[in-house]
Amino acid sequence: MSAVVAAPPARAGRRGNDRSALSQQPMAAANDAARTTTLAPIEQHQQGKRAAHRAWLAPAVAPLAGIMLFLLLWQIVAQTGGQLPGPLKVWDAAIKVFADPFYQKGPNDQGIGWNVLSSLQRVAIGFGLAALIGIPAGFLIGRFVFVSQMSAPIIALLRPVSPLAWLPIGLLVFKAANPAAIWTIFICSLWPMIINTAVGVRQIPQEYLNVAKVLNLSESKVLTRILFPAVLPFMLTGVRLSIGVAWLVIVAAEMLTGGVGIGFWVWDEWNNLNVQHIIIAIFTIGIVGMLLELLLILIARRFEYAT
């Protein structure tokens, strides 16, 4: 009888424990939600820091990895045989070359600095002449249909001609190597500026020109107020292409014409069988070309911001 009497309180105790457990579950869920809410900004901040680190490291690590891979392949090729010097030998030779880049021991024996400056001078003259003629010609070709139709077969015929094919014409006309090299740069830098400027003029909406007719604007105002601001991005693209072509052409032209210049320096070192200096010249040409490209990109961004 005592056991029967004691049983109900025991069941009642279990029910009380169950009710207390059930009442504690919402409190535990609320505590977990509070902890999650508290930790969420911290985790988001940490994830943001990790993402920022990855975004910062990727642009720095990827180029470094590419350079290291290039140097490794270069060293492997140099060790497999042949006369190609490795990176360390070229580095030692470069230190000696750039220790005194502006020495002068005669008209045909000058430092690499003078040769680069001479090449840049020829590029500046030929490229400047091409800009003075090519950009206005591009405006005329893009603005007037008759001029475009008249010049189309000439451009299509002359543009694919190899740059060095123009060098003998320059030697025949100017009777000297330096103006012949400038002539070659000029004729090869001309086409990208003409074509890109003309394309930019054709891309201008006809509504703009119709408004200019309604306002009775003169051709000079149409050029300065409508055409030039709209064509500027296309024109700068042509300038960038032209400077790259000019820098490529001058190296090849100087190999054939001689004198002072980075192209002549490469050919002279080949005659001396100095392969290390040839590789130094290759890297120098690439670095100078890259700097010219970056300079024009900065100029293009500045004009785009101004417009």
Domain that holds residue 44: 15-82
Verify that 170 and 111 share a domain, yes or no: yes
pTM of the model: 0.74
Verify that 60 and 169 share a domain, yes or no: no
Task: Give the separation between CA 177 and CA 166, rounded to whole angstroms.
Answer: 12
Verify that 169 and 66 share a domain, yes or no: no
Q: Which of 50, 82, 114 is the last residue of a domain?
A: 82
Task: Give the separation between CA 283 and CA 260, rounded to whole angstroms.
Answer: 18
Name the 3-class secondary structure at 263: helix
Verify that 49 and 165 share a domain, yes or no: no
* Within-domain flag for 2: no
Verify that 37 and 150 share a domain, yes or no: no
Per-residue pLDDT 10s for the chain (307 aa) are 344 444 444 444 444 454 554 455 555 555 555 555 554 566 666 666 666 666 666 677 888 888 899 999 988 988 887 788 989 999 999 999 999 899 888 777 788 999 999 999 999 999 999 999 999 999 899 888 899 999 999 999 999 998 889 999 999 999 888 999 999 999 999 999 999 999 988 888 877 777 777 777 777 777 777 778 888 888 888 888 899 899 989 888 888 887 788 999 999 888 888 999 999 999 999 999 999 988 888 887 776 644 4
Sorted by sequence, the CB contacts under 8 Å of residue 74 that are 6+ apart come out as 86, 87
Q: How many domains does the chain have?
A: 2
- Kindly state the tokens that stand for 256: 């054939």
Cα 52–chain centre separation: 25
